[in-house]
């Protein structure tokens, strides 16, 4: 595939989350041509994370101006309705993330923040290691050869919002686990809905918890993040069905909640170290 290079003053989409089933948030990997780019304020909050080699840039946002060396991982946080202008001295690549205002405010409300604390604030050249890890994980989901489970992207974007809103004290002070009865209820629900799309909002509501608190307490109880637990259970179900030999691989992929057969093969290889065809040979 030829490498696409933006012309001066233009942008090209290299990857985007259209068709991945992400709701309330999204992302795109964008090639940005040398020159000036003006981005008007819109209805969504925007995050731009610089990817790759440093470039010199001049930025203007919310009445502030900044001349800088833009390095790998530097992030600009642009709230909804705020205009921005960037002038780069060379072509660059940006991971653009957008968040709906409803998604951000709902997360702030679940953290029990005051209304004034539920909005993102403009930040230029944010350098935060934890935030960068989340951004790179989201980029990996965007670039994955196989269709991903939207649950992981939802979890990453929720964690980003929590981080940008200030890592609410309520999360730091409530790191206890789910009760055995509550944990059993969640696990039973997951087991009976593995073939369906599961969301953090749905699972948290099941046990009357906010999404941020549910994520923390689930991991404290089960030892792994929600999305990891679910994909592990899907892989185990797929393994059992394959060994039973009653369904085709494509039918098993759907029964186990994978987008398609190659998606199932990807995760089985990643978690079990064996592909479905090899499992069948050994079975």
Domain spans, the chain: 11-157, 174-223, 229-282
Partners of 11 in the beta sheet?
32
State the CATH class of domain 229-282.
Answer: mainly alpha
pLDDT value of position 112 = 79
Phi, psi of 60, deg, nearest 5: -140, 125
pLDDT-derived band of residue 269, with 50, 70 and 90 as boundaries? Answer: confident
Mean of pLDDT values over 127-142: 91
pLDDT-derived band of residue 3, with 50, 70 and 90 as boundaries? Answer: low
Q: Give the CB-side neighbour count of residue 143, counting CA atoms within 13 A.
A: 10
Longest dimension (CA), the chain: 66
pLDDT value of position 2 = 45
Query: Would the pLDDT of 191 be above 80?
Result: yes
Q: Do the domains at 11-157 and 229-282 have one common CATH topology?
A: no
Q: Of 145 and 246, which is predicted with more confidence?
A: 246
Mean of pLDDT values over 205-232: 91
Query: What is the rounded average pLDDT for all residues in the chain?
Result: 88
Q: Which fold has domain 11-157?
A: Jelly Rolls (2.60.120)
How many beta carbons lie within 10 A of that of residue 236, not counting itself? 15
Angle of CA points 139, 140, 144, to nearest 5°: 120
pTM for this model (two decimals): 0.81
Query: Would the pLDDT of 40 be above 70?
Result: yes
Alpha-carbon distances of 8 from 13, 33, 69, 87, 97, rounded to whole Å: 15, 5, 19, 11, 23
Query: Would the pLDDT of 98 be above 90?
Result: yes
Axis-axis angle for helices 261-272, 226-244 (nearest 10): 110
Asked if residue 121 lies in contact with residue 77, where contact means CB atoms within 8 angstroms, the answer is yes
Mean of pLDDT values over 113-138: 89
Mean of pLDDT values over 112-138: 89
C-alpha dihedral (198, 200, 203, 205), degrees to nearest 10: -130
Asked if residue 139 lies in contact with residue 16, where contact means CB atoms within 8 angstroms, the answer is no
């Amino acid at each position: 595939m030829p490498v696409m290079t933006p012309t001066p003053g233009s942008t090209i989409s290299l990857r985007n989350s259209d068709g991945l089933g992400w709701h309330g948030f999204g992302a795109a990997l964008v090639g940005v041509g040398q020159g000036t780019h003006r981005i008007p304020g819109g209805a969504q909050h925007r995050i731009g994370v610089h990817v790759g080699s440093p470039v010199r840039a001049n930025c203007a946002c919310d009445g502030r101006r900044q001349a800088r060396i833009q390095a790998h991982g530097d992030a600009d946080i642009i709230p909804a309705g705020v205009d921005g202008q960037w002038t780069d001295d060379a072509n660059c690549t940006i991971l653009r993330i957008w968040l709906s205002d409803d998604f951000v405010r709902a997360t702030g409300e679940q953290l029990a923040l005051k209304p004034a604390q539920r909005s993102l604030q403009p930040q230029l050249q944010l350098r935060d290691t934890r935030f960068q890890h989340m951004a790179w994980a989201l980029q990996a989901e965007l670039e994955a050869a196989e269709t991903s489970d939207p649950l992981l992207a939802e979890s990453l974007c929720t964690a980003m919002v929590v981080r940008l809103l200030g890592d609410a004290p309520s999360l730091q002070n409530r790191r206890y686990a789910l009760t055995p009865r509550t944990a059993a209820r969640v696990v039973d629900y997951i087991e009976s809905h593995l073939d369906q799309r599961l969301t953090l909002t749905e699972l948290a509501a099941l046990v009357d918890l906010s999404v941020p608190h549910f994520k923390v307490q689930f991991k404290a109880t089960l030892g792994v993040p929600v999305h990891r637990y679910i994909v592990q259970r899907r892989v185990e179900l797929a393994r059992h069905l394959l060994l039973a030999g009653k369904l085709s691989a494509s039918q098993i992929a759907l029964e186990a909640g994978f987008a398609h057969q190659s998606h199932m093969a990807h995760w089985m290889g990643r978690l079990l170290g064996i592909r479905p065809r090899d499992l069948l040979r050994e079975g």
